Structure formats: structure tokens, C-alpha cells
């Protein structure tokens, strides 16, 4: 009897130990190390945060200097590819023209100017209170017919009486830069016309209506051989700095912020550099 009682006691003890072991294993499998718990929680939190960000949509209106047309057309297409819910509508003209339109109440999301002066006109009106970001620079060249048939060698050549020279209007960034460069060279030129945008000057040279015109080097590169570009040392005295900013009353503020990030980011720098623009501050 005593032997049976002893065996029963041992059996009960063994079952109790087994039960405790199973309980411990179950507890261990239900928990994780501090590191893995943190990672899992972070992953879930990150996923939740990402899913809560609304996709961009609607129309994004961009006003940009005429010299930015080809690059901004490329960047607009890239932006629409990244954000299929957004349609970019870009308008290009002389920066002074665009600034006047903005001050007049044009509903625009983003303004990209070819100089600080015309951006300042807009910020002075409190239409933009954030700090504009410089994203590119540009320099002038003398645009002439392919092969330079008039044998122009520099700004001094533009004073020849038989030469038809076209310039941007002085209110435009390209016009202000042209006058700065001419003054640095001690040269006075009477243009046959004063255009509202740099692309208008380029068109006059391409068509033969002008023998020469002062345009940006990016315009010469973009002309695809229709003109020849001549460098001149005084261009270093008249570098244009390009700022970009979102309007305070931007109808699509979220898309405006994302577009500016694209322009000022790696992809934007790549596209701008391939078109001949200099780096910010250059």
C-alpha cells in the first residue's frame, strides 16, 4: 500500500513539472525580445502612417520663366507620372509679365522666376511669405546664325551699324542681364526690338529677323543647332539666379510643395544641368 502511494506521488509530481514546462513554452512563444517587439511595432506604425497620407490630386498651376519651358515640361511629366492624380498646367512667359499677373490675382500654385527682382515684387505684396528657394543659375550668350556668318567676336561687335541686334526688354531678367553685361563691356547697343521674353529674342535670330541677340546659354542649347552661341567674358558679371516658391493662397498647396521638392531635388538638378543651367549659387 505504501509502495502504491509512493508511486502515485511521483506520478503527480511528474505531471506537475510537465505542466509548468508547457506553460513556460507557451508564454515564451507569445512574447518576443525587446528588439523584435520594437521593430514589429515600428513596422505597423510606419505602415499606418504611410497609409494615412492622402494621395495628391487635382490641378497644379505653375507659372515659370520662359527659359524654363523645356526643363519644366520634363519635370511636369515626371511629376504627373509619380502622382497620377495630379494634372500640371504650366504657363511660361517673361518673369516680369508673370509677376504682374500674380499681383493682379492670377490663381497660381507655384512661381519660378528667372531673377530675384521679379520674385521680390511678389513677396513684397505678401503673396509669398515663405522664403523662395534658389534652384538654378544661368548665363548669357550671343546667339547668331549657324556658323556665325557675321564674324561676331564679342559685345564690341554688336555696335556695328549694319548689324541687327535684338534684346529683351529691360524689365525682363534677360534684358536686365544684357544691360549689365553691355555696361561692363562699355558698349552701347541700339536694339531693333525689345522683347517680352528670351524665347522671343531667340526666335528673331532663328528666323533671320535679327543678326544677333543676347539670350541664355540654355536657350542656345535648346535650339538644337538652329543658332550658334558665343561666350563673352562680361557674362560673368550678369549671372541670373532662379528662385521658386509656392503662393500662400495656392489652391493646391500639397501638390505645390511636392513639385518644388522635385525641382530642387536630385531629379530636378539632373534635368536642369542637362539643359545647361548652373547649380544654385554658381
What residue ranges do the domains of the chain occupy? 58-136+241-274, 140-237
- Looking at residues 52-69, what average pLDDT do you find? 92
Q: How far apart are CA 38 and CA 42, in angstroms?
A: 6
Q: Has domain 58-136+241-274 been given CATH number 3.40.50.1980?
A: no
- Looking at residues 228-246, what average pLDDT do you find? 98
Instruction: Choose between 35 and 144: higher pLDDT.
Output: 144
Which helix (H) or strand (E) element contains residue 63? Answer: strand 58-65
List the binding residues for molybdate: 67, 95, 198, 216
Instruction: Kindly report, residue by residue over 195-223, the tens digit of the pLDDT.
Output: 999 999 999 999 999 999 999 999 999 99
List the binding residues: 67, 95, 198, 216
Instruction: Choose between 32 and 139: higher pLDDT.
Output: 139
- Looking at residues 37-56, what average pLDDT do you find? 48
* Amino acid 282: pLDDT: 75
Among candidate residues 111, 124, 114, the one with its CA nearest the CA of residue 246: 111
Cell numbers standing for residue 144 = 547668331
Say whether 140-237 and 58-136+241-274 share the same fold: yes
**Contact predicate 216/140, CB 8 Å:** yes
In our burial notation (b when 16+ CB lie closer than 10 A, e otherwise), range 31-54 reads eeeeeeeeeeeeeeeeeeeeeeee
Whether residue 64 is predicted with pLDDT greater than 70 in this model: the reply is yes
Among candidate residues 189, 232, 184, the one with its CA nearest the CA of residue 211: 189
Q: How confident is the model at residue 53 (pLDDT cuts 50, 70, 90)?
A: low
**Contact predicate 158/187, CB 8 Å:** yes
Question: Listing from the earlier edge strand, what are the strands of the sheet with 193-195?
Answer: 193-195, 165-168, 212-216, 140-144, 228-230
**Contact predicate 216/173, CB 8 Å:** no
pTM assigned to the model: 0.79
Domain 140-237: state its class: alpha beta
**Contact predicate 143/212, CB 8 Å:** yes
**Contact predicate 62/89, CB 8 Å:** yes
Reported in sequence order, the residue ranges of 175-259 that DSSP labels E, i.e. its strands, are 193-195, 212-216, 228-230, 240-246
**Contact predicate 189/182, CB 8 Å:** yes
Task: Provide the β-strand partners of residue 134.
Answer: 243
Whether residue 118 is predicted with pLDDT greater than 60 in this model: the reply is yes
Amino acid at each position: 500500500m505504501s509502495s502504491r502511494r509512493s508511486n502515485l506521488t511521483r506520478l503527480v509530481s511528474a505531471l506537475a513539472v510537465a505542466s509548468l514546462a508547457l506553460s513556460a513554452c507557451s508564454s515564451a512563444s507569445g512574447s518576443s525580445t525587446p528588439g523584435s517587439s520594437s521593430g514589429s511595432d515600428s513596422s505597423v506604425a510606419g505602415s499606418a502612417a504611410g497609409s494615412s497620407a492622402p494621395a495628391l490630386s487635382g490641378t497644379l498651376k505653375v507659372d515659370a520663366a520662359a527659359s524654363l519651358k523645356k526643363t519644366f515640361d520634363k519635370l511636369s511629366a515626371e511629376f504627373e507620372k509619380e502622382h497620377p492624380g495630379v494634372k500640371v498646367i504650366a504657363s511660361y512667359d517673361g518673369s516680369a509679365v508673370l509677376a504682374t499677373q500674380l499681383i493682379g490675382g492670377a490663381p497660381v500654385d507655384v512661381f519660378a522666376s528667372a531673377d530675384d527682382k521679379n520674385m521680390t515684387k511678389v513677396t513684397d505684396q505678401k503673396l509669398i511669405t515663405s522664403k523662395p528657394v534658389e534652384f538654378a543659375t544661368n548665363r548669357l550668350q550671343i546667339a547668331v546664325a549657324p556658323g556665325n556668318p557675321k564674324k561676331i567676336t564679342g559685345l564690341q561687335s554688336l555696335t556695328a551699324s549694319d548689324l541687327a541686334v535684338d534684346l529683351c526688354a529691360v524689365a525682363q531678367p534677360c534684358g536686365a542681364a544684357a544691360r549689365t553685361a553691355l555696361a561692363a563691356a562699355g558698349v552701347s547697343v541700339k536694339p531693333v526690338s525689345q522683347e517680352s521674353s528670351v524665347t522671343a529674342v531667340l526666335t528673331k535670330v532663328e528666323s533671320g529677323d535679327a543678326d544677333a541677340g543676347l539670350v541664355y546659354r540654355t536657350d542656345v542649347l535648346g535650339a538644337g543647332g538652329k543658332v550658334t552661341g558665343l561666350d563673352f567674358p562680361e557674362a560673368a558679371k550678369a549671372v541670373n539666379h532662379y528662385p521658386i516658391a509656392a503662393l500662400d493662397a495656392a489652391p493646391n498647396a500639397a501638390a505645390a510643395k511636392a513639385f518644388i521638392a522635385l525641382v530642387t531635388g536630385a531629379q530636378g538638378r539632373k534635368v536642369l544641368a542637362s539643359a545647361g543651367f548652373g547649380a544654385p549659387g554658381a
